[in-house]
A and B are shown apart, each in its own frame.
Chain A
Amino acid sequence: MDRHTLHQFLRKFFLSNGCQLLEEKEGLLRFLLTPELDEELMNRPFYWRYKKRLGQEGDPMELALLTDPNETAEKAKHIHFGSPRLHKIFRLIRNSAQVARLYEKVDTASRTPLYPWLIRNLSVHFSGERKRTETHSVGLQLLNGQLATDWMENFSQVEFKQQISDQCYCLSPVIRYQSGYQRISSYMHTYLDTIDDSWVKETAETLKKEEDLLAHFFDQSAQEELEPEIQEERAALYKNELDAVHKRLIPSIQMETINAGIFYLSEETARKLLHKKEA
């Protein structure tokens, strides 16, 4: 995320959460927070607790953020990728936007059907000797089972509303949400079977080596004539160490849903954007 993207992201985040934009210039954003965001971001739990106890409304603070590392401004804090505050904001936004039901905004005079899509965004965590995480966005049309990848990227310019547009009506899904969700999982399994798995073999080799090493160090002493108490202690330690090695080095893949939703989409938009991608 470069700093211009970050700037726009933060601007959108605070405005869409009802904060008032007090000042904006290149590399600087100054907001008056809402009480809710003040509580979440400003780290003054006692203030809010007392205010609530007194039955008073609190005065939310101003927050000035510098998105340009070279800028300075009064009472402003630098925010950058990796700063705890940005992570907090990321967490807030992720928690608040897990599920959606949205309708495409359509300007039309004639009756227009909207088709239901299940959109599932997911992180796939590969865990072995090294770790990485892929991001996927998969859409499934719930009438005919058509599947589309990179959905969020392809439909980012489409406007969706929480209310259905005039003259539009929704078609009922044929595929239930649960089985749709499951179909996307199956698709991911198929995809995962096709990708390079050399990391799995590498991890297995390292695992073997580390198990050997542990066995060596803990066997050595098992042969000694130790007091039972110490023997027990060492057995427990061995188990702990072994568990830690397994936890780290038994390869696994975990799918984590970032968020998901039912999106109602006109046939025209779907055709246009999915076709564009194929072309």
Chain B
Amino acid sequence: MQVHIKDDKPFIDMMDDVLQQEGEKASWEHFQMAYTAAKETNIDTFTGLVAPGYLPHMTFHPHQLEASRRVVEEMNGRAILADEVGLGKTIEAGLVLKELMIRGLVKKVLLLVPASLVNQWVNELNSKFHIPAASQRKQYIWEHYDVIVSSIDLAKRSPHREIILEQDYDFVLIDEAHKLKNSQTKNYAFIQSLKKKYCLLLTATPVQNKLSDIYNLVSLLKPGYLGSYKQFKDTYGDDRRDAEEHHYLKELIRKVMVRNRREETGLQWTKRKVETIWIDFTEQERQVYENMQDSTSAAATFAKITLLRELCSSREAAYLSMKKMVEENPETGNTYLPVMKEIEKLPQHSKALKVVELIKAAPPGEKFIIFTEYRATQFYLQWTLKQHDISSVPFRGGFKAGKKDWMRELFEKHTQVLIATEAGGEGINLQFCSNMINYDLPWNPMRLEQRIGRIHRFGQKKDVQIFNFAVRNTLEAHILELLYKKINLFERVIGNLDHILAELQVSDVEKEIKRIFADSRSEGEIKVKLDNLTAVITETGEQMERDKLHG
């Protein structure tokens, strides 16, 4: 193939003019410096990205460089970044943005991220990429700053909305873009109406599960490309399987989406060491637990299961739930009031004491993250640790962004323990800590994976130690033995767990398990049903691995 070679013809005419007119000519020193400046900015290899050379303080992993390069060079800066949790989507996005800025293609930038992550984005862009990003605080900022990070909820509200829609953005980024899969929402319409040259959608959940997801996200990146949804559906069918088999659609997805998987990154991950800590209830605690289990009262089975779970966590969690139920429905007092009386008499919770024991046995200053499902337990644990001179900070999803940053910082610099409830998991990086206590286990494997992902991620230098606490002969024991150990979640990263669950159409694993407990008449039945569930999860995973190899 013949390549067209273009010469720089105008230059010689300009040069001729300058030389003839005796005009301003360069000194040797300046002539040399101009040559040096050009040579330094010229990139002499086909490696693609310029930006890494400008960020010598950063170490990028090969998959991050490749992902960013593809987005810039092959996808024209319009892409879905769908790496698995913990592989550094933020880094890839920052690199793409930096690259586009260095190449002079991008000036005005809008990043829409969850409110709790606004500060983290601002910090990372500034410190890691030297991109002068500002977080949205005041109204005027939209027009006066070039790089702005905001939450989508704030951005879409008046008067911000109107101002933003007037701006011509060179680059728009949406973090947690899986929330945009539904085209009927206000958020979707808002993003669609933004004026944007380049656009990145970040998501940890893959989008190829549902045809409409593909359609909606691709339509944000390539408006009009796919025609109307009806045409699209008529062509590619309703089923994801049809869609995936479709050569062109597959090709298109490849053209707009980058998805790195852990196992493909070829990186040495630090190990996960898992230890189960068994706790025996005291005689007194056991009595309360069994009374509740055996109560054949009017109490709904579902409620009973919740209470039993709570009782395995703390007296407070169970007590508060019962109190609330009695307040809402005084008739249930017959059942619960006696139990509450018994709980009041319990001096401590054996599990909490075990936590103290474990932390005290560790080398001084060794940091721990404790995850619990219940706020009441969180308070109780904080109090208990304090009684034993162990410093701790709480962490909740409900904290404002600034408070989250502050707590994270306190934990990193001053305290030994961070006690988090579930929602605290999203997006925050705690890789400076390598010990995690699962004080109680979520009943959804995805959520557990996210918990572990807080510390077992890039930047973690040590092996990660996971302690799973479970009280013997309780529901907890079943969950641990029959669910988690079976699917082997702790030791390995189940890359496509999200995929598998979507495939099984189990939208709410927690409910599914609750139902198993509620509907079963015996321990044996619970075991059989949970066995079935885990078998299906494992098999689907293997099946998908095979599909991937052959497809």
Interface residues of A (CB under 8 A from B): 1, 9, 12-13, 16, 69, 80-83, 87, 89-90, 93-94, 96-102, 121-123, 126, 129-135, 137, 152, 156, 159-162, 177-178, 181, 185, 189, 192, 197, 199-201, 204, 206, 209-210, 213, 216-217, 220-221, 224, 233-234, 237, 241, 244, 248, 250-262
User: Main SS of chain A's interface residues?
Assistant: mixed
User: Main SS of chain B's interface residues?
Assistant: helix
A253 touches B3 (CB 8 A): yes
The 6 closest A-B pairs by CB, nearest first: A82-B54, A97-B26, A97-B34, A97-B30, A160-B28, A90-B37
Chain B positions within 8 Å of A197 at CB level: 3
Further 4 A-B residue pairs, CB within 8 A, beyond A98-B34, A123-B42, A258-B38: A94-B37, A99-B19, A162-B25, A253-B6
Name the residue of chain A whose CB is nearest to the CB of B73: A130
Contact of B284 with A by CB under 8 A: no
Chain A positions within 8 Å of B25 at CB level: 99-101, 162, 261
B5 touches A192 (CB 8 A): yes
Contact of B48 with A by CB under 8 A: yes
A258 to B42, CA, bound (A): 11
Name the residue of chain A whose CB is nearest to the CB of B235: A220
Contact of B130 with A by CB under 8 A: yes
Name the residue of chain A whose CB is nearest to the CB of B5: A253
Chain A positions within 8 Å of B51 at CB level: 82
B30 touches A252 (CB 8 A): no
Chain A positions within 8 Å of B224 at CB level: 233-234, 237
Total residues of chain B contacting the partner, CB 8 A: 61
> Which among B225-233, B287-295, B394-402, B485-493 touches the partner chain?
B225-233
CB distance from B18 to the nearest CB of A (A): 4
Interface residues of B (CB under 8 A from A): 1, 3-8, 11-12, 14-16, 18-19, 25-48, 51, 53-57, 73-74, 76, 98, 102, 130, 222, 224-227, 231, 235, 248, 251-252, 255
Chain A positions within 8 Å of B47 at CB level: 130, 132
Chain B positions within 8 Å of A189 at CB level: 5
Chain A positions within 8 Å of B53 at CB level: 81-82
CB distance from B148 to the nearest CB of A (A): 17
CB distance from A25 to the nearest CB of B (A): 21
**CB pairs A–B below 8 angstroms (13 shown):** A80-B130, A87-B102, A130-B73, A131-B43, A133-B44, A189-B5, A192-B5, A210-B255, A252-B5, A252-B6, A254-B5, A255-B5, A258-B38
B5 touches A159 (CB 8 A): no
A262 to B73, CA, bound (A): 39
Chain A positions within 8 Å of B56 at CB level: 80-81
Name the residue of chain A whose CB is nearest to the CB of B52: A82
CB distance from B147 to the nearest CB of A (A): 12
Name the residue of chain A whose CB is nearest to the CB of B40: A1
B45 touches A217 (CB 8 A): no
B12 touches A156 (CB 8 A): no
A237 to B29, CA, bound (A): 51
